[in-house]
Every structure is written in structure tokens, then in C-alpha cells.
Amino acid sequence: MAAKRNVWKPTADECKRIRDFTKREVRGLTRMEGGTRINLQDGTIEQSLNIALVAKTEDWQDTDLNDFISWAGFRAGVPLTEDGRAVIDFYCYSRDGLETNIAVYYKDGAILKMGRTGSNRMINF
């Protein structure tokens, strides 16, 4: 029998923290979508919203955007790594279009940090 994979089902409070942070970063936020990614070197790895399940490198350079998942899809649950980690890359839009990406790092049952993707400015929790 296959082992059941853990899933992070974000709480209302966690979702509020993510959205509040993003609203401070994006004036006039209208929509957030999670980016699902694929591994560019290893076709046996399934696409996932959780970059930690797809990337073999810390900087995700071996992955690429494959598709998007709605905020509701994110709320439905994110599969975790065996050690309970998740990295989500949200695409954040205003009325003018894509404004930025916000990365959320989750481990051990809590959000560890979040910030603009590719930025050294991460907020620790």
C-alpha cells in the first residue's frame, strides 16, 4: 500500500496573512494564482504547485512554469514533501496585469517566510 502524502490545507488565518502581505506589495491587487511547475531535466517528476516537489536545485533553475491554479485550488490543499515542506510561487495581478510574484515557504506546519520571488527581501514569521 502506498504511503499517504501529507497535504497542507491553508487555514483562513494563513490565507489572510498571505493576502495581506501581497496587498502591501501590490497596489490594487485583483487576483492571485499559484504557478504549477515542471522539472526541465527529469520528465519523471510530476508537475506540482509545490516547487519543493519539482525542483532538485535550491534556486528552482531546473524548473519552469507549466500552468496556473486558482486561489481556490490553492485553498483546497498543497501536497507536501516527505519532510513536510512546500514552496508556492504566486503570480499577483492588478488591473494593469501581472505585477510581481510572491513566494511562500512552508515547513513544520507553519509559514516560515514570504517575499517577492527572486528577491533577497523575505519576511520571516
CA distances from 5 to 11, 84, 105 (A): 19, 9, 18
What are the structural domain ranges in the chain? 7-124
pLDDT in tens, 42-65: 999 999 999 999 999 888 999 999
pLDDT in tens, 102-123: 999 999 999 999 999 877 678 8
Is 50 exceeded by the pLDDT of residue 7? yes
Going through 47-109 in order, the beta strands assigned E by DSSP cover 63-69, 78-79, 85-94, 97-107
Q: With 0-12 CB in 10 A as exposed, 13-18 as middle and 19+ as buried, what is 88?
A: buried
32 within 8 A of 23, measured Cβ to Cβ: no
C-alpha gyration radius of the chain: 14
Question: What pLDDT was estimated at residue 5?
Answer: 60
